[in-house]
Amino acid sequence: MTRIFSGVKPTGHLTLGNYLGAVRQWAEVDQHRADALFSVVDLHALTVDHDPGRVRRLSKQAATLLLASGLDPEACTVFVQSHVDEHARLSYLLECVATDGEMRRMIQYKEKSARERERGGSVRLSLLTYPVLMAADILAYGADEVPVGDDQTQHVELSRDLAVRFNQRYGRTFVVPRATPPAVAARVMDLQDPASKMGKSHDSGAGIVYLLDEPDVVRKKILRAVTDSGTEVEYDREAKPGVSNLLEILAACAGGNPEGLSGVYESYGALKRATAEAVVELLAPLQKRHKELVADPAYVEEVLRRGAERAREMAKPTVDAAYRAIGLLPPT
Ligand code: TRP
């Protein structure tokens, strides 16, 4: 059976972009067609300035939201990365396979480290080695497929390179994974800046709908979304990025396709109102389920405990094999 691995980083509250762009497909499609693991990758949240309490809260919240979004612990494995030591163990071995030049060429590293230096800050070494830890996440489980957005495909390519290199040098140990862009996902852009992705770590929250935003907050953000010059509702990503983003969100929430929906609305205002209601309706059951799960913390803890146990069982044989293959003396 195909094995799938993907992760969410607890660096901010999960957004509508995370849900429509990834998590919904994990819940509706991936967990049913494959042997799937979904991880709250908390070690990755330590690569930039962080507040320990906040990371802890966001990790718990992300795990709870994954379950509220429909990930079913009977169908897939949901766990927190730091609960499974194999990630860090394997990451070190892969650091001995990767080169520093390879790391410095990573686009995300170049962008994030430049931004940090501009602000006069220092760059954590883990920001540079982050893609190696990500490769360890994937290779430890022998994942065939890694459903990620296009900002992560370079990291998955690196995972492939490291798997192939390790196998060539030390004998066949790892499955060579590939990135699989989600088939049905919507590309949700920031409501205030439709040229950039609706990401959870964006500076201001005005253009971002969070999964736990109250209905009135959702409405307000969508009604205040920037639109484009002119008055006609048209789906044209280049000429009308704001309107097209709303059409895309509406289609993803209510069904239909953005082009088809563009003929239905007479004005930008009408489109915004319809989109706001569609998002509120989409989020209602998820928020209800989240509330129930928050009221039952023992259940969530048990799911994560069992998830980590299952993940550990899957990862340990592969990571142990890598230790042997690379030349480390087995303990007696
Ligand atoms: N780097 C990913 C992101 O920023 C998160 C991630 C970490 C991940 N490890 C992973 C995704 C392994 C897929 C597979 O979104």
**Predicted pLDDT of residue 6:** 98
Ligand 1 centroid from CA 7, angstroms:
5
* Residue 101 is assigned to a ligand binding site: no
Ligand 1 proximity of 148 Cβ (cutoff 6 Å): yes
Nearest-angstrom CA–CA distance, 288 and 303 = 19
Ligand 1 centroid from CA 1, angstroms:
22
Task: Give the domain CATH number at 228.
Answer: 1.10.240.10
**Predicted pLDDT of residue 309:** 98
Q: CA 153, 258, 192: angle at the middle one, nearest 5?
A: 70
Q: How confident is the model at residue 182 (pLDDT cuts 50, 70, 90)?
A: confident
* Residue 18 is assigned to a ligand binding site: yes
Same domain, 18 and 165: yes
**Within a domain: 41:** yes
**60, 112, 221, 272: which is the annotated catalytic residue?**
112
Same domain, 240 and 219: yes
Flag the least confident range among 94-108, 190-204, 212-226, 265-279: 190-204
Mean pLDDT calculated for residue range 307-326: 98
**Within a domain: 244:** yes
In percent, the amount of the chain with pLDDT more than 70 equals 98
Nearest-angstrom CA–CA distance, 169 and 10 = 35
Q: Is 268's pLDDT higher than 80?
A: yes
Of all atoms in ligand 1, which is nearest to the CA of residue 149?
Answer: 15
Does residue 332 or residue 138 have the better pLDDT? 138
| Residue 247 contacts residue 271 (beta carbons within 8 Å) | yes
**Predicted pLDDT of residue 201:** 62
pTM: 0.95
**Within a domain: 200:** no
**Within a domain: 276:** yes
Same domain, 254 and 161: no
Q: CA 34, 35, 38: angle at the middle one, nearest 5?
A: 105
Q: Where in the sequence is the domain holding 77, given as residue range(s)? A: 3-181+297-326
Active site residue 60: no
**60, 197, 221, 240: which is the annotated catalytic residue?**
197
Q: Is 203's pLDDT higher than 90?
A: no
**Predicted pLDDT of residue 149:** 86
Same domain, 65 and 163: yes
Same domain, 170 and 72: yes
Ligand 1 proximity of 138 Cβ (cutoff 6 Å): yes
Average pLDDT over the chain, rounded to whole? Answer: 95
Three-state SS across 10-74?
CCCCCEHHHHHHHHHHHHHHHHHHCEEEEEECHHHHHCCCCCHHHHHHHHHHHHHHHHHCCCCCC
Residue range 18-65, pLDDT digits in tens: 999 999 999 999 999 999 999 999 999 999 999 999 999 999 999 999
**Predicted pLDDT of residue 67:** 98
**Predicted pLDDT of residue 28:** 95
Ligand 1 proximity of 145 Cβ (cutoff 6 Å): no
Active site residue 240: no
Pocket perturbation via mutation, ligand 1, pick of 11, 38, 41, 58 by most ligand atoms within 8 A of CB: 41
Same domain, 54 and 72: yes
Same domain, 90 and 160: yes
**Within a domain: 199:** no
Q: How confident is the model at residue 284 (pLDDT cuts 50, 70, 90)?
A: very high
Q: How confident is the model at residue 13 (pLDDT cuts 50, 70, 90)?
A: very high
Of all atoms in ligand 1, which is nearest to the CA of residue 133?
Answer: 9
**Predicted pLDDT of residue 26:** 96
Burial string for 110-131 (b: 16+ CB within 10 Å, else e) reads eebbeebeeeeeebbeebbbbb
Same domain, 91 and 26: yes
Chain-centre distance for alpha carbon 317: 26
Residue range 132-168, pLDDT digits in tens: 999 999 999 999 999 998 889 999 999 999 999 999 9
Check residue 111 and report its DSSP letter: H
Ligand 1 centroid from CA 169, angstroms:
26
* Residue 17 is assigned to a ligand binding site: yes
* Residue 1 is assigned to a ligand binding site: no
Task: Give the domain CATH number at 108.
Answer: 3.40.50.620
Mean pLDDT calculated for residue range 318-322: 98
Active site residue 200: yes
Ligand 1 centroid from CA 146, angstroms:
9
Burial of 254 (0-12, 13-18, 19+ CB in 10 A): middle
**60, 110, 200, 221: which is the annotated catalytic residue?**
200
Mean pLDDT calculated for residue range 259-282: 96
* Residue 229 is assigned to a ligand binding site: no
**Within a domain: 203:** no
Same domain, 140 and 246: no
Based on its alpha-carbon atoms, the radius of gyration of the chain, rounded to whole angstroms, reads 21
Please tell me the total count of domains within the chain: 2
Ligand 1 proximity of 44 Cβ (cutoff 6 Å): yes
Here the contacts of 323-327 (C-beta below 8 Å, separation 24 or greater) are 323/89, 323/93, 325/166, 325/170, 325/171, 325/173, 326/93, 326/96, 326/166, 326/170, 327/170
Same domain, 170 and 241: no
Residue range 292-304, pLDDT digits in tens: 999 999 999 999 9
Same domain, 286 and 246: yes
Mean pLDDT calculated for residue range 70-76: 98
**Within a domain: 190:** no
Same domain, 91 and 62: yes
**Within a domain: 205:** no
